[in-house]
Structure 1
Amino acid sequence: MRTFVLFDLEFTSWPGALEQDWGASGQLREIVQIGALRLREDFSIVEEYEALVRPTANPQLSSYFTELTGIDQETVDREGLSPAAALGDFLGFCRGQSVLSYGNDMVVLGENVGWARARGEEVKNSYLAAHFLNIRPWLNAIAPTTATVNVGRLWQVLDLPRPAAGKEHSALFDCYSFAAAIKHLCSTGAALPEGCLQRS
């Protein structure tokens, strides 16, 4: 049976960063948490992926980020992988798959791969070995009530049961919210966009 991957990222942020598109001096979208689910085409879960990442340019997390995500400095310092190790591992998880996001997370992923390589670090596995696709436009078009909410709230606006333990802005929980929304929409007759399923 064919499989595909859903993923979500949490990355460094500060008050006003979203509105300014991370345009303030020194503010980079460094990945701090990666969450992903590998699903079969019947939307059953094959595998979970989760990793914490230690940011490099801004190693000290902002209080804004910690309050938003619940991810604290001590945990990242203790459990976080280096960016190159985390990115290479995640790209290995995605190899040969369609990898779907709710927004431009693949751009942030690409930025982080570029920064790691610019520092002279080896990122194992190629970004090009997976097929990344932002399906937020498709989802918002089918369910217009989702257009103004983040991925972690999709289950709420679609009036679905809570999909997992946890809360929004936790990357793995957001993946469960994303998966629940897609499963619901497809169960009501929608079809995933072309290219979302690759033979595993």
Structure 2
Amino acid sequence: MSSFVVFDLEFTSWPGALEQDWGAPGQLREVVQIGALRLSEDCSVLEEYETLVRPVVNPQLSPYFTELTGITQESMDQDGVPPAQALGEFLGFCQGQTVLSYGNDMVVLGENIGWARARGEELKHSMLDAAFVNIRPWANTVAPTTTTANVGRLWDMLGLPKPVAGQEHSALFDCYSFATALAHLSDHGATLPAGCR
């Protein structure tokens, strides 16, 4: 059976960081949470992946980030894993798959892989073992109502039932929002990109 992966990242942030493209001193887009779903051709969920990742440069999460995502410093300190471990495991989950993001998450992923390697950390797998695709331009073209939506609001913008419990800006919830939107668009005649069928 053919399958593909959708993924979402949550990364360190502060008030105004998005508008400044993380340009303030010390503000890096360090991955804090990775969520991913392996989907079948009909967009049903085959497998989940989720992990918390300990940021290195900014180990203390900002109150802004915690309010946005619901991820607390306590949960990070208790359950967070080192970046190289999390990134390597995630790349292993993606191996041999087409991997879709709704936006530039693969760029942020690449930044974090580069930082881990610059620190001398070894990753078990490579981004080159999967085909990463930003599907947002396609989704916005086939469903213009999604143009202003972040990934966690796709289900809402398409008038669909909430896919699972949770909230936007939680990586796994955002993946379910993404998968629900893809299934809806496919069911209504949109042809998913190559690698997803």
TM-score interval, smaller chain: over 0.9
Residue in 2 aligned with 1:168? 168
The answer (yes or no) to whether the contact 2:3–2:196 under 8 Å persists in 1 is: no
The answer to whether the 8 Å contact 1:145/1:157 transfers is yes
Contact map agreement 1:100 1:196 (CA 8 A) in 2 = no
- What are the within-5 Å matches in structure 2 for residues 64-83 of structure 1? 64-83=64-83
Which consecutive residues of structure 2, in runs of 5 or more, have no partner in the other structure? none
What is the distance in 2 between the residues matched to 1:123 and 1:64?
30
Residue in structure 2 matched with residue 122 of structure 1 by the alignment: 122
Counting only pairs closer than 5 Å after superposition, residues 7-156 of structure 1 correspond to structure 2 as 7-156=7-156
Query: Quick one: which amino acid aligns to residue 7 of structure 1?
Result: F
> For 2:133 and 2:11, how far apart are their aligned partners in 1?
19
CA-to-aligned-CA distance 1:39-98 (integer Å, 9 cap, x gap)? 000111110000000000000000000000000001001100000000000000000000
* Matching residue's letter, 1:159: G
What is residue 189 of structure 1 aligned with on the other side?
A: 189
Structure 1 residue runs of 4 or more that deviate by more than 3 Å after TM superposition: none
Sequence identity (%): 74
Q: Which amino acid aligns with 2:5?
A: V
2: distance between equivalents of 1:46 and 1:100?
A: 15
Secondary structure of the residue aligned to 1:99 is strand
Tell me the number of residue pairs that the alignment of Structure 1 and Structure 2 aligns. 197
| Aligned residues: CA RMSD | 0.7
Taking structure 1 as the reference length, what is the TM-score of the superposition?
Answer: 0.97
Q: Map Cα deviations across residues 3-29 of structure 1 (whole Å, 9 max, x no partner).
A: 000000000000000001001110000
Contact preservation (8 Å) 2:4, 2:195 = no
Q: Secondary structure of the residue that 2:68 maps to in structure 1?
A: helix
Deviation sequence 1:102-125 (CA, Å, 0-9, x none): 000000000000000000111110
Structure 1: tracts of 5 or more residues without a match: none
Q: Secondary structure at the match of 2:18?
A: coil
Distance (Å, rounded) in 1 between the aligned partners of 2:112 and 2:196: 24
TM-score, normalised on structure 2?
Answer: 0.99
The alignment partner of 1:71 has SS state of: coil
SS at match of 1:191: coil
Whole-Å separation in 1 of the counterparts to 2:99 and 2:150: 18
Amino acid at match of 1:28: L
Distance 1:135 1:104 in 2: 9
Report the Cα offset of residue 196 of structure 1: 3.6
